[in-house]
Amino acid sequence: MGSPVADSFTLPLTAVQPSQLYLNGLKLSLVTRWFDFDAPNYDPPPVRKFDGRWTLTDGHTRTFAAHLSGADELRVVRDTDDISMETYERCVSWCKSEDVTEISDLAGRVVTNATFERLWVDRCQSLDRD
């Protein structure tokens, strides 16, 4: 889906740190409907450096689909959005504490939409209330 982005670059898939602990199974099923597993072509997910490592700030589902396709590399784009670094640092800390350090670690962490909302979205939103 999408065409190559001019400012995109490629990273080894194993070098990209996730910033979420779960994948929404409903969203994954929708992505697998358009994702071409034979010739992956997708909008590159945004990454940002945290603690010297490229970290996904979005696009975990398409990145996981790329992993499922057998991709060794991931086409990414540098995230330039105004995001809360503190929130992402906390999310990455949660990931590291549960040994989610690359996209393949999300295998076994694909959950229903309701469970995703409860386990992940609610947890992230609690950061805004702290």
Assign 3-class secondary structure to 11-68.
Answer: EEHHHCECCCCCEEHHHHHHHHHHCCCCCCCCCCCEEEEECCEEEECCCHHHHHHHHH
Q: What is the pLDDT of residues 54-82, one digit of tens each?
A: 999 999 999 999 999 999 999 999 998 88
- Report the pLDDT value the prediction gives residue 116, as an integer from 0 to 100: 96
Taking 50 as the threshold, does the pLDDT of residue 40 lie above it?
yes
Residue 1: which pLDDT band, with cuts at 50, 70 and 90?
Answer: very low
- 73-78/9-12 β-pairing: antiparallel
Domain span at residue 45 reads: 9-129
Query: What CATH number did the domain enclosing 32 receive?
Result: 3.90.1530
| Residue 67 forms part of a structural domain | yes
Residues 94-126 pLDDT 10s: 999 999 999 999 999 999 999 999 999 999 888
pLDDT at 3: 44
Per-residue model confidence (pLDDT) at position 57: 94
Q: What is the pTM of this model?
A: 0.89
Q: How many domains does the chain have?
A: 1
Mean pLDDT to the nearest integer, 14-26: 96
Domain assignment present for 3? no
Give a yes or no: residue 2 inside a domain. Answer: no
Q: Specify if 4 maps to a domain.
A: no
